[in-house]
Amino acid sequence: MQRINRLLTSRSYWLALALTSAALLGVALYYQYALGEEPCQVCIQARLWVAGLLLLSTALYWLPGNRLALTTGNTLALICTVGLAERSWFLYQLENGKGDGSCEFQLGMPDWFAVDRWFPTLFEVRNLCSFTPDMAFGLSMAEGLLLVAVGLTTCVTWSLAASMLAESVGKPD
């Protein structure tokens, strides 16, 4: 258990989060540009959470691993993964005709955060929400993203607990 806690408070943890985030964005771009599956508003919102996690985890990889940085970083990472899980759940519900909601053909961000205009290759909405493409193991993209989001949220929660435990014990790992 101590080995796992040490790993979750190390630079390797932040590198793993960064690589996972980069892989998620890579898969999204592969489906968009190689397979022609255009992203909807909710998909782009999920990408924003993943991009936030990528930027955060990259920054934390390079910052010194003190307790304040670990706790703050894990708290922000938890916000990103919970946001991703919420968007994934919303997309799953839309895909299965459940829930109450829809999506638009625009991202809906304010002008001061116009990422869809700044980085259209990555963040431009190009489709309305509907069924997501099938992926490995017979899962839809919405189902796969939901599983990954829950896994990331669990991992980050565990890491946050480990960093807070290290803080209460007074031993930075």
- The residue with greater pLDDT, 76 or 133, is 76
Q: Is the pLDDT of residue 81 over 50?
A: yes
User: What are the backbone dihedrals phi and psi of residue 140, each rounded to the nearest 5 degrees, phi first?
Assistant: -75, 165
- Which pairs from 107-114 meet CB under 8 Å and 24+ separation? 107/41, 107/44, 107/45, 108/41
Per-residue pLDDT tens digits for 2-43: 676 677 778 889 999 999 999 999 999 999 999 999 999 999
Number of domains in the chain: 1
Domain encompassing residue 78: 2-169
Per-residue pLDDT tens digits for 160-171: 888 777 655 544
| Residue 52 belongs to domain with CATH number | 1.20.1550.10
Q: Is the pLDDT of residue 151 over 70?
A: yes
- The residue with greater pLDDT, 6 or 72, is 72
Residue 158 near residue 8 (C-beta atoms within 8 A): yes
Mean pLDDT (the chain) is: 88
